[in-house]
Homo-oligomer: A and B are copies of this chain.
Amino acid sequence: MMHLDIPTIGDVQRAAVRIRERIHRTPVLTCRTFDELTGACLFFKCENFQKVGAFKFRGACNAIMSLSEDEARLGVVTLSSGNHAAAVSLAARLQGIPAYIAMPETAPESKKRAVEGYGGKITYCANIKALDETALKIQKATKAHFVHPFDDPRVIAGQGTATLELLEDIPGLDIIIAPVSGGGLLSGTCIAAAGVRPGTEFFGAEPSIADDACRSFQAGRLITDNVGSTIADGLRATLSERTLSILKSHVRDIITVTEEEIVRATKIMWQRMKIVVEPSGAVPLAAIIAQPNSFAGKRVGVIVSGGNVDVDHLPWH
């Protein structure tokens, strides 16, 4: 029998207190155009305005601030090609400890520069497959503490704090929808909202060419093969036993959307809401537009996960 540490609503609430002074309390925006388009009442929790430009800063802060002085002393290590790397680097710097980051050489230049800017010490790997091994080597050499991008109860609890804030600002939500990659954000979202507002419905949203979470959810067991190269580059990770188990307990459905639907949703968020979101952050809106019957007439919280795009290389060019 497998034992998995699953965070509770208490863990999310303690995380919220722990990280409160470090994070931005991000705004909740509405957009009449999208309400008319979908027939729902949408409330966008804008984590693109979070520090480092993504919700990832919440989980990284909670994990790092949860460490004992002894655990933290030698720093933290992680592996990531994207927002989690920047989040761990900044969270570690603010805690005054080193951060070691295993990054693929193929990561976007802007992400590499962000990590360096926050003082993260990067070790480059030839490819994504080498990340695990590289992180393990760094950990052995430095004795730093490992902070997984999503398969960590403290990270999951931290991500859930966005939803606690959302429900404080907008108490009467029927549904909350978030993007799914490794499942840390959606897991934290479910635990937070189920704890303070039982009866909330949860949906995940995922690119159809990286639909491993949808297939795992439907099969009831972990499927990690065949993740395509989606434009939603933040959504390429696969679930863990822990996050799948949480999603199975809470989630109504995981909706998949095409690349075209993602690009369209990203563009209309830029055009109509005047906010910069990354394609991953527009996947939930794309799902609502693709499957309006699940949302029409409902008050829906939409987690906008991040806003890190290289403006010189926009997805529609």
Evaluate contact between A53 and B276: CB separation under 8 angstroms. Answer: no
With both chains docked as a complex, state the minimum distance between the C-beta of A150 and any C-beta of chain B, in angstroms.
Answer: 23
Interface class of chain A by DSSP: loop
Closest to A110 in B: B271
Stretch at the interface among A189-197, A247-255, A283-291, A308-316: A308-316
Q: Does A209 lie at the interface of the complex (its beta carbon under 8 Å from any beta carbon of B)?
A: no
Evaluate contact between A311 and B307: CB separation under 8 angstroms. Answer: no
Q: Which listed residue (B27, B274, B316) contacts A276, Cβ 8 A? A: B274
Tally chain A residues at the interface, Cβ within 8 Å. Answer: 17
Evaluate contact between B307 and A49: CB separation under 8 angstroms. Answer: no
Give the complex CA separation of A177 and B311 in angstroms. 26
Evaluate contact between A53 and B275: CB separation under 8 angstroms. Answer: no
Contacts of A276 in B (CB 8 A): 270-271, 274-276
Evaluate contact between B307 and A316: CB separation under 8 angstroms. Answer: no
Interface CB pairs A-B, < 8 A, 22: A27-B27, A48-B274, A49-B274, A53-B274, A267-B311, A267-B312, A270-B276, A270-B311, A271-B276, A271-B311, A274-B275, A274-B276, A274-B277, A274-B307, A275-B275, A275-B276, A276-B276, A311-B314, A311-B316, A312-B316, A314-B314, A317-B317
